[in-house]
């Protein structure tokens, strides 16, 4: 016969952190502390590393008499970043003028005559113009493709239309896309593939979410 103190159909009490043992609670609090402090600490460290690197490189270009330490009792981090931002803005203002455009064309012509250097300079300039000036939809579309074999899928990024020579060689014309397949967890390396538009599945996912998903090896879900 059931104990009268036990009510039939009474829901089971779900264990909460207060029902855990002391060791279990301490372990949970420890991992919660890591979850809170690790992203902040890593972000702060990377920001400090970036700022200190820029400061060190810019400081080497400025005469010692003009260093902030000569006028202030303590050094102020970030001065190099400010100087770099102001310097790049002034260079942009100069090149936007008539004289600056002429100097830029002369510089381009000189580099174009240098073997090996002309290829590197031309490729880098074209990439930067494409990305910064937003002349294309490069890395603006997250897609799903079958890779490395049928039945297996991976996330990739459309970088634009494939070269006309590629489309003509494969008999696809302008339907061929250039697709970048990044590696996990380092998305800076990967493979360049050429696929017909019909074999590419567009995902309702931002590029940032796609990169987070790849870097986290699928742990961080899109939108989280």
The DSSP output letter for 195 is E
106 inside domain: no
Task: Answer with the residue of higher pLDDT: 77 or 157.
Answer: 157
87 inside domain: no
Q: DSSP assignment of 128-172, as one string?
A: HHHHHTT-S-TT-EEEEEE-SSTT-EEEEEEEEEPPHHHHHHHT-
Task: Answer with the residue of higher pLDDT: 164 or 224.
Answer: 164
Average model confidence (pLDDT) across the chain: 80
pLDDT higher than 80, residue 62: no
98 inside domain: no
Q: How confident is the model at residue 157 (pLDDT cuts 50, 70, 90)?
A: very high
In the chain, the number of structural domains is 1
Contacts 24+ apart (CB under 8 A), 114-120: none
**Which residues span the domain enclosing 169?**
141-215
84 inside domain: no
Question: Going by C-beta distance under 8 Å and a sequence separation of 6 or more, which residues neighbour residue 157?
Answer: 139, 141, 142, 143, 179, 180, 182, 207, 210
101-148 pLDDT tens trace? 888 888 888 888 888 878 888 888 877 776 666 555 567 789 999 998
162 inside domain: yes
7 inside domain: no
pLDDT higher than 50, residue 6: no
158 inside domain: yes
33 inside domain: no
pLDDT at residue number 14: 43
Q: How far apart are the first and last CA of the chain?
A: 50
């Amino acid at each position: 016969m059931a104990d009268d103190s036990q009510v039939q159909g009474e829901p089971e009490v779900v264990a909460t952190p207060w029902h855990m043992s002391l060791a279990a609670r301490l372990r949970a609090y420890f991992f919660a502390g890591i979850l809170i402090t690790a992203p902040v600490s890593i972000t702060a460290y990377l920001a400090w590393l970036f700022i200190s690197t820029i400061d060190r490189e810019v400081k080497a270009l400025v005469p010692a008499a003009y260093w902030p330490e000569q006028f202030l009792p303590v050094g102020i981090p970030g001065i190099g970043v400010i100087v770099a931002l102001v310097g790049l803005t002034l260079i942009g203002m100069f090149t936007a003028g008539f004289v600056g455009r002429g100097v830029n064309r002369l510089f381009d012509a000189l580099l174009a005559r240098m073997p090996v250097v002309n290829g590197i300079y031309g490729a880098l300039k074209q990439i930067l113009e494409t990305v910064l000036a937003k002349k294309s939809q490069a890395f603006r579309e997250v897609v799903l493709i079958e890779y490395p074999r049928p039945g297996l899928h991976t996330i990739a990024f459309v970088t634009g239309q494939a070269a006309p020579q590629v489309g003509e060689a494969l008999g696809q014309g302008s339907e061929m896309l250039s697709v970048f397949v990044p590696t996990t967890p380092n998305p800076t390396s990967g493979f360049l593939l050429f696929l017909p538009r019909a074999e590419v599945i567009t995902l309702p996912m931002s590029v940032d979410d796609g990169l987070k998903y790849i870097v986290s090896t699928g742990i961080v879900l899109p939108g989280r």
